[in-house]
């Protein structure tokens, strides 16, 4: 639930708060006043560990979009430098060291998504993308200690939740992690100095880092800067956003086809529809209120709107339209849509098992058989329980499905 909105005067804070982006602000009224009288350059940091960001980062990206919509300047900070060190917090994953080339390629790939959602350029409110590697790798350790070190007291660092939590739980906190917050703080100070940046935003887990940056900037440069965090975004059933059977919901087209991306939004929990519409689409609030109020099965219309709008923003209007058309044809009409995964079969017949594997519905023959045995495999919408079933076809496309939601097409080669 969003808290009752304070009476903000700036369009920025009004926009952010009424759309549900605001969790905590360091100095809401100070920021409000600043945003009302000048262009506020604000930044959010992103990881460069993979060639694509996923849905979990979309709130942050959208927040930069809102910043720009409200007439301010978004700065996309890519963590090229911090990625080199390797973020130690995700300790479940074996941290493979990325080469500089990998990181550069990742950043280039991620940038394509930002270009859809933000307007880049040289103008006063145009977005820019920077890489903290630029300044971090130029920094010597001793120099870092001398510049930044005096402004951090261990006493204070110990009071941060991220640190406290680890200590209380007797979980290890490495020295590297302890330094990580210093590097993050340094980013803010650097951007404040070189780009006039006055605001850092991020997920609620970044609160401590953001506050550190604010503190450091004030101490070193005597500049007042602000921080704002979004609520931790989970789906209504409590899971972290962005996971599906196939893995993460990636924002880049080459990491996840538009059809699957669209389906992700089409299938969100009823309870999430309004919240997601506010966060992830540009629809006017009264329109969203109307959609959100739909009851029973009518809420499905709102989900289609959600899927269309988000896909349009992230993947383009064409992809959204194609996905919707495919959905209409596939689910309502019982036919096939152009966007479905397809498999070309050379000689006019194929074993059902192979078709399921070829379409990516089963990872192994055993899995395909289990699917068939469980009644989940369908040909032309009819459940087939014979494991040895062979599909023969002449000329026409044949629809093969796994369950009621995952559909694919067989095409004669």
Query: Helix axis angle, 175-195 relative to 141-148, nearest 10°?
Result: 70
Contact status: 336 vs RNA (CB under 7 A): no
Stretch that binds RNA, among 116-124, 126-134, 169-177, 284-292 (CB under 7 A): 169-177
User: Smaller CB distance to RNA: residue 78 or 353?
Assistant: 353
Spell out the residues 6+ positions from residue 40 whose beta carbon is closer than 8 angstroms to its own: 12, 31, 34, 67, 72, 73, 198, 199
Minimum CB distance to RNA, residue 295 (Å): 8
Contact status: 165 vs RNA (CB under 7 A): no
Stretch that binds RNA, among 114-122, 129-137, 239-247, 309-317 (CB under 7 A): 239-247
Contact status: 405 vs RNA (CB under 7 A): yes
CA 33 – CA 191 distance, rounded (Å): 21
Among 6, 150, 334, 366, binds RNA (CB under 7 A): 366
Stretch that binds RNA, among 17-25, 71-79, 274-282, 402-410 (CB under 7 A): 402-410
Among 5, 176, 239, 293, binds RNA (CB under 7 A): 239
Task: Give, rounded to a whole angstrom, the gap between the first and last alpha carbons of the chain.
Answer: 53
Contact status: 396 vs RNA (CB under 7 A): no
Stretch that binds RNA, among 4-12, 33-41, 146-154, 360-368 (CB under 7 A): 360-368
- Tell me how far the alpha carbon of residue 345 is from its chain's centroid: 36
Binding pattern to RNA, positions 78-117, x when CB under 7 A?
--------------x-------------------------
Residues 302-331 within binding reach of RNA (CB under 7 A): 303, 327, 330-331
User: Smaller CB distance to RNA: residue 124 or 334?
Assistant: 334
Minimum CB distance to RNA, residue 353 (Å): 8
Q: Which of 26, 21, 24 is nearest to 63 (CA)?
A: 21
CA 62 – CA 44 distance, rounded (Å): 11
Among 338, 363, 392, 396, binds RNA (CB under 7 A): 363
Contact status: 402 vs RNA (CB under 7 A): yes
> What is the greatest pairwise CA distance in the chain?
77
Q: Which of 321, 296, 300 is nearest to 309 (CA)?
A: 321
Contact status: 292 vs RNA (CB under 7 A): no
Structure tokens at 291: 């959609």
Minimum CB distance to RNA, residue 361 (Å): 8
Among 50, 117, 139, 299, binds RNA (CB under 7 A): 299
Among 93, 170, 286, 347, binds RNA (CB under 7 A): 170
User: Smaller CB distance to RNA: residue 82 or 308?
Assistant: 308
Q: Which of 292, 276, 282, 285 is nearest to 233 (CA)?
A: 276
Q: Which of 199, 218, 141, 153 is nearest to 163 (CA)?
A: 153
Residues 203-232 within binding reach of RNA (CB under 7 A): none
CA 288 – CA 378 distance, rounded (Å): 37
Dihedral (CA of 152, 153, 159, 161) sign: positive
* Other beta carbons within 10 Å of 87: 16
Among 345, 406, 408, 409, binds RNA (CB under 7 A): 406
Q: How far is CA 117 from CA 7, 78, 245, 316, 340, in A?
A: 28, 16, 27, 10, 26
Minimum CB distance to RNA, residue 296 (Å): 5
Minimum CB distance to RNA, residue 209 (Å): 22
- Tell me how far the alpha carbon of residue 360 is from its chain's centroid: 24
Region of 228 please: left (phi>0), alpha (psi -120 to 50) or beta: beta
- 98, 84 Cβ separation under 8 angstroms: yes
Residues 253-272 within binding reach of RNA (CB under 7 A): 263, 266-270
DSSP state of 5: P
Stretch that binds RNA, among 128-136, 153-161, 193-201, 370-378 (CB under 7 A): 370-378
For RNA, the binding residues (CB under 7 A) are 92, 170-172, 237, 239, 244-245, 263, 266-270, 296-297, 299-300, 303, 327, 330-331, 363-367, 370-371, 374-376, 378, 383, 387, 402-406
């Amino acid at each position: 639930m969003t808290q009752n909105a304070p009476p903000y005067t700036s369009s920025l804070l009004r926009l952010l708060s009424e759309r549900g982006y605001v969790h905590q602000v360091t100095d809401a009224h100070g920021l409000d006043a600043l945003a009302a009288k000048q262009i506020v350059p604000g930044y959010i940091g992103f990881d460069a560990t993979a060639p694509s960001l996923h849905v979990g980062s979309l709130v942050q990206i959208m927040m930069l979009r809102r910043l720009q919509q409200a007439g301010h300047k978004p700065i996309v900070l890519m963590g090229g430098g911090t990625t080199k060190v390797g973020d130690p917090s995700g300790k479940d994953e074996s941290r493979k060291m990325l080469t500089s080339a990998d990181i550069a390629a990742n950043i280039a790939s991620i940038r394509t998504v930002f270009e859809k959602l933000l307007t880049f350029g040289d103008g006063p409110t145009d977005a820019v993308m920077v890489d903290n590697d630029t300044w971090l790798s130029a920094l010597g350790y001793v120099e870092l200690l001398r510049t930044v070190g005096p402004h951090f007291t261990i006493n204070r660092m110990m009071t941060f939740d991220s640190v406290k939590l680890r200590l209380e739980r007797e979980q290890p906190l490495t020295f590297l992690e302890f330094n990580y917050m210093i590097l993050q703080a340094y980013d803010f100070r650097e951007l404040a100095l070189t780009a006039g940046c006055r605001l850092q935003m991020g997920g609620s887990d970044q609160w401590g880092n953001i506050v550190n940056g604010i503190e450091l900037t004030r101490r070193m440069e005597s500049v007042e800067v602000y921080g704002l965090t979004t609520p931790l975004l989970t789906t209504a059933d409590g899971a972290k956003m962005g996971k599906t059977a196939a893995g993460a919901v990636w924002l880049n087209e080459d990491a996840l086809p538009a059809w699957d991306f669209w389906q992700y939004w089409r299938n969100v929990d009823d309870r999430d529809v309004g919240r997601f519409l506010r966060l992830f689409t540009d629809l006017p609030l009264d329109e969203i209120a109307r959609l959100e109020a739909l009851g029973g099965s009518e809420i499905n219309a709102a989900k289609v709107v959600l899927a269309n709008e988000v896909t349009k923003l992230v993947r383009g209007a064409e992809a959204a339209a194609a996905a919707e058309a495919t959905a209409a044809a596939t689910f309502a009409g019982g036919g096939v849509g152009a966007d479905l995964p397809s498999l070309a079969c050379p000689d006019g017949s194929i074993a059902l098992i192979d078709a399921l594997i070829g379409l990516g519905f089963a990872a192994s023959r055993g899995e395909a058989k289990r699917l068939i045995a469980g009644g989940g495999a369908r040909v032309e919408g009819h459940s087939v329980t014979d494991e040895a079933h062979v599909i023969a076809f002449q000329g026409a496309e044949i629809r093969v499905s796994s369950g009621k939601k995952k559909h694919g097409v067989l095409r004669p080669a």
